[in-house]
Amino acid sequence: MSAPSGRIQRAGEVAQAAAPRGLQHAWVVWRYWLLREFKTRYAGSVLGLAWAFVQPLASLAIFYVLFGLVLAVRVPGLEASNGYLLHLLAGLAVWLPFTDAVGRGVGSLAAYEDFLRKQPMPAEILPAVSVGGSLVVLGIGYALLLVLSVGQGVGPFVSWIWLPLLVLAQVLLTFGLTLVLSMAHFLWRDVGSAVGFALQLGFYLTPIVYPLAQVPERFHHWFLFNPVACLVLAVEAVVLHMPVPPGTFLALAAWTVLLSGGGWWFFRSMKPVLGEAL
């Protein structure tokens, strides 16, 4: 038996053992699949888990050189010797784990269609594994942001105690969106290609490589219709004490409830259709 097929069989045994015991034991299955995700992603490569550090650092370096040094973008309202670097890192700390989870999660059901057909397991676990796999990049990004902020003389602030709530909001809204997209992609395979294009477009519609202060103020409220932009702005407000449009935190709360609750409802309501398709 080959190694991949052996891992799939072992995953099936874990799923079968947990299935009769209810939702509380789904944690066992999720943890097993998450460890398997990490092994698949990093095992066998020369750098291994170090790739989780390389990705955010490489992205940060590329965008900083291009926009911070070559184009000399400045961030009004941020008192720091290298304010653009902090602004850029705040955006990437949100964006990179978000796109990692969504990009991998959209195809999670389709990739294991045969497995779901043969083994009883809550299908929600597969998108949840994609979100869990992005937590390493998320943790690295936020840790770098806090360390560099202190190094640049920005903080620590009392407002930093709210950062865990923003991380929770990011995980919830990402999971909800991944639930919707994974189910939609399973039923309509064109969704995967559309998501790739939407993520490319979304990057430039989110104030990451440019500060919101450089956008005409009459357009600021439009960013509140972008959940990732709301999250980026909220992180900048909490960690860097940057000004944000009125209603940013309310919009973020609304997006979190809408995407997490709506995503869960949509996925659960479509599970009978998923069962018929399998």
Helices 83-105 and 135-151, packing angle to 10 deg: 180
| Model confidence band, residue 76 (pLDDT cutoffs 50, 70, 90) | confident
- Are 244 and 233 in contact, with CB atoms under 8 Å apart? yes
Give pLDDT, residue 18. Answer: 44
Residue 264 has pLDDT above 70, yes or no: yes
pTM score of the predicted model? 0.85
- Are 38 and 100 in contact, with CB atoms under 8 Å apart? no
Residue 62 has pLDDT above 70, yes or no: yes
* Cβ contacts of 154-162, under 8 Å, gap ≥ 24: 154/78, 154/79, 154/80, 154/86, 154/239, 154/240, 154/241, 155/239, 155/240, 155/241, 157/238, 157/239, 157/241, 159/237, 159/238, 159/239, 159/241, 160/238, 160/239, 162/238
Give pLDDT, residue 31. Answer: 83
Give pLDDT, residue 254. Answer: 97
What pLDDT digit, counting tens, does each position of 96-129 carry?
Answer: 999 999 999 999 898 888 888 877 778 888 999 9
What pLDDT digit, counting tens, does each position of 215-239 carry?
Answer: 999 999 999 999 999 999 999 999 9
Give pLDDT, residue 192. Answer: 85
- Of 258, 138, 130, 119, nearest to 182 by C-alpha is 130
Residue with tokens 């978000």: 98
